[in-house]
């Protein structure tokens, strides 16, 4: 009796897998993986695939990353055909929410991707999306690495507030080379803004004077905003943007303070 029940149960499972979508599961797979759905083609670490049904990582180095070629990868195909959810529900099987898949991806990358573990020369972690120093230290004062139990939640909190990350959390991260360069340059510029008087000039209306172009930048107003980390960070953002010519000189200021004061006087510019 027990053997008969077990055999019947096995047959029913096979039938559910074959006909949940009206035809064998293998034939229904293309419908389950809509190329227009961003959830179906996520590569957490570059040589893998994130299953949108289970949020499980599948090693797939021979897949080219396109949603159109998913089923040409045998590892991905085998994984899908073995899923109980698909065998039971077929084309009606539900994928995980996109936000959940993003969170899983970020967790994988924080722990394993080199571009998510880079710091500026002063030790502050550099966000791989916005390229900003974040105030999060990757190492403790004694040189030991920061505990991941503390570090990962801090990184995820930054990502949740980072506009560049929110815009494209899966594909928006920059390369190791870009992050390394930005981390070094940004640290240099931040020091200049905080300590060099040539970066602390404003005109009569309070518009900050760019020391590279000797022109006021109206959106950065030293009279309306208190001088501090917030305003300084926005000045650094401007200097590192395409609007500022500073990058052409590797952020070295050619003008002297006297030169800038002379240019400032023509615009009624004064020291902050």
Cα distances (angstroms) measured from residue 26 to each of 31, 34, 96, 210, 264? 10, 15, 21, 62, 72
Q: How distant, in Å, are the alpha carbons of 23, 171, 180, 239 from that of 242?
A: 55, 22, 18, 8
Output the tens digit of pLDDT for each of the chain's 272 residues.
445 445 534 443 444 444 444 567 888 888 889 999 999 999 999 999 999 999 999 999 999 999 999 999 999 999 999 999 888 887 788 999 999 999 999 999 999 999 999 988 778 899 999 988 898 998 887 778 888 889 999 999 999 999 999 999 999 999 988 888 877 888 788 889 989 999 999 888 888 999 999 999 999 999 898 888 889 989 998 998 889 999 888 889 999 998 887 777 776 544 44
pTM for this predicted structure: 0.66
Q: Say if CB 269 and CB 210 are below 8 A apart.
A: no
DSSP bridge pairs for 50: 57
The pLDDT value recorded for residue 19 is 40
pLDDT value, residue 268: 56
- How far from chain centre, in Å, is Cα 74? 29
- Per-residue pLDDT, 95: 94
What is the pLDDT, as a whole number, of residue 22? 56
What per-residue confidence (pLDDT) applies to 12? 37
CA angle 174, 180, 186 (to 5 degrees): 100
Whole-number Å distance between alpha carbons of 262 and 255 = 11
Break the chain into its structural domains and give their ranges: 2-96, 113-181, 196-271
Maximum CA extent, the chain: 100
């Amino acid at each position: 009796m027990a053997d008969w029940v077990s055999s019947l149960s096995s047959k029913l499972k096979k039938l559910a897998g074959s006909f949940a979508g009206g035809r064998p599961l293998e034939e229904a797979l293309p419908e389950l993986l809509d190329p227009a759905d961003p959830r179906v083609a996520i590569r957490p670490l570059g040589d893998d695939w994130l299953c949108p049904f289970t949020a499980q990582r599948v090693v797939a180095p021979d897949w080219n990353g396109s949603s159109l070629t998913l089923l040409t990868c045998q590892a991905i195909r085998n994984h899908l055909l073995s899923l109980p959810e698909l065998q039971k529900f077929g084309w009606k099987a539900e994928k995980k929410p996109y936000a959940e898949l993003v969170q899983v991806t970020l967790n994988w990358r924080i722990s394993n991707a080199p571009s998510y573990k880079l710091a500026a020369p002063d030790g502050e972690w550099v966000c791989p999306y916005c390229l900003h120093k974040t105030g999060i230290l990757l190492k403790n004062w004694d040189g030991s690495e920061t505990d991941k139990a503390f570090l990962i939640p801090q990184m995820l909190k930054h990502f949740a507030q980072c506009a560049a990350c929110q815009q494209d959390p899966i594909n928006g991260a920059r390369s190791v080379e870009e992050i390394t360069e930005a981390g070094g340059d940004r640290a240099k510029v931040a020091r200049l803004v905080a300590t060099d008087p040539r970066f602390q000039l404003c005109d009569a209306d309070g518009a900050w004077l760019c020391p590279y172009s000797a022109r006021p930048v109206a959106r950065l107003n030293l009279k309306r905003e208190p001088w501090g980390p917030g305003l300084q960070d926005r000045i650094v953002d401007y200097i590192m943007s395409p609007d500022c010519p500073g990058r052409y000189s590797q952020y070295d200021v050619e003008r002297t303070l006297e030169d800038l004061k002379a240019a400032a006087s023509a615009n009624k510019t004064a020291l902050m």
